[in-house]
Amino acid sequence: MAVPVSQSWTVATYVIKQKLKGRKRFPLVIMLEPLFRCNLACAGCGKIQYPAHILKQELTPDECFRAVEEAGTPMVSIPGGEPLLHSQIDKIVEGLVARKKYVYMCTNALLLKEKLHLFKPSKYLSFSVHLDGQRDHHDFSVCREGGYDAAIEGIKAAVAAGFRVTTNTTLFDGADPNSVRAFFDELMEVGVEGMMVAPGYTYEKAPDQKHFLGRARSRRLFRAILSNRRKTWKFNASPMYMEFLMGKREFSCTPWGMPAFSIFGWQKPCYLLQDGYADTFQELIDTTDWSSYGTESGNPKCANCMVHSGYEASGVYYSLGSIRGLLDTAMAMFFNTYEDKGALDLLNEPVTPIHSHNPLVQIQTAEPQPEVTA
Ligand code: SF4
């Protein structure tokens, strides 16, 4: 089991309590973005194209704690930007752990080894390392030669020091399902606790607009990757969300499930879109026109979206919302290999990975680059 029992229990009791209270819209995980600055400039990222004066700003630890207490979620994800560049990230993590929040710090791990001494191993803290595939694919995806090796080195150091380490992987058009499956084996071998995988989102500001996946292509890709699973693979995502990615079930988006808070405030309506900001979480819930979002709304910005931050909460709320949801989830956990002959045939189809016919373009950032071994 990828997620510790105490964490699963905390999340389950939280969700059931919210439902018993009759809350119609409640969050599952807060996406706390304490800065937008990064030491990578990935072609598919829409977060780091802000002007320099914005990239210099940081949330203070107290601003972070206030936002987390306002949302009241049992889990906090810290994306960015690169959180390890934040000048007080150790204080932020320490304060959240003291509040018994399950923290996932999303990092590209370039600085993980050198900053590990800032943190203490805890069941409440996981490093969620961003890795998009095997060495060539990841380095192409993050526009940084040596990025994969540095991240693996960081993972090994964190695992050896007793930290929980998970991974998050974003897949774009041109991903090779056989390579992704081999990549899962590599992650399990280095001691990763659980993997999360999701399709990328078409950020309007991202430099590379050509390689985002449409819904049908996403389902085909994830059916090929996630069917016929090896018993050794462990995932850090709701089984129902993974079935959604494989095209086995339909969910509506839950944009309030993982609300994003940054130096601008609470972002409307979700982590991906920027249709304004609210000063408080309650204002976000009360003043957002939720009917304008999600695939069924007809909003073109949502048409192809299947991202984790929109649909993981849908999967969890389905699992804990009815006897049927509980049974479906139990079945998915018990019969978790998903044997599928058609999916095996998909693995035999020729693929031309994008990194095989495109040069790796290293995009420079203003941040000093840590030394990595290629
Ligand atoms: S479908 Fe995607 S982009 Fe649209 S509201 Fe949901 S998470 Fe945001």
CA distances from 304 to 180, 213, 301 (A): 21, 7, 8
* The pLDDT of residue 151: 96
> What H or E segment, with its residue span, contains residue 115?
helix 112-115
Number of other residues whose CB lies within 10 A of the CB of residue 217: 14
| Phi, psi angles (nearest 5°) of residue 34 | -75, -10
**Cα-to-centroid distance, 252 and ligand 1 (Å):** 10
Judge whether 79 and 31 are in contact, CB under 8 Å.
Answer: yes
Pocket-forming residues, ligand 1, beta carbon under 6 Å? 253, 255, 269-270, 272-273, 293-295, 301-302, 305, 307, 309-310
| Cβ-based neighbours of 263, under 8 Å, separated by 6 or more | 33, 35, 36, 54, 57, 58, 59
**Cα-to-centroid distance, 255 and ligand 1 (Å):** 6
The token pair at 113 is: 């080894």
**Residue 21 to residue 170: CA distance in whole angstroms:** 35
Sorted by where each starts, the structural domains of the chain and their CATH numbers stand as 27-356 (3.20.20.70)
| Blockwise average pLDDT, block size 10, the chain, 374 residues | 85 95 95 91 71 92 98 94 95 98 96 96 97 91 89 97 96 90 97 95 59 80 97 96 97 96 96 94 96 92 92 96 96 94 93 60 49 38
* The pLDDT of residue 371: 43
Instruction: Write down the pTM of the prediction.
Output: 0.89
| Ligand 1 atom with the shortest distance to the CA of 295 | 1
| Ligand 1 atom with the shortest distance to the CA of 310 | 7
Provide the CB-side half-sphere exposure for 69 (13 A, CA): 9
* The pLDDT of residue 200: 85
| Ligand 1 atom with the shortest distance to the CA of 302 | 4
Question: Roughly what angle, to the nearest 10 degrees, separates helices 5-20 and 308-319?
Answer: 80
**Cα-to-centroid distance, 294 and ligand 1 (Å):** 5
Ligand 1: residue whose CA is nearest its atom 7: 310
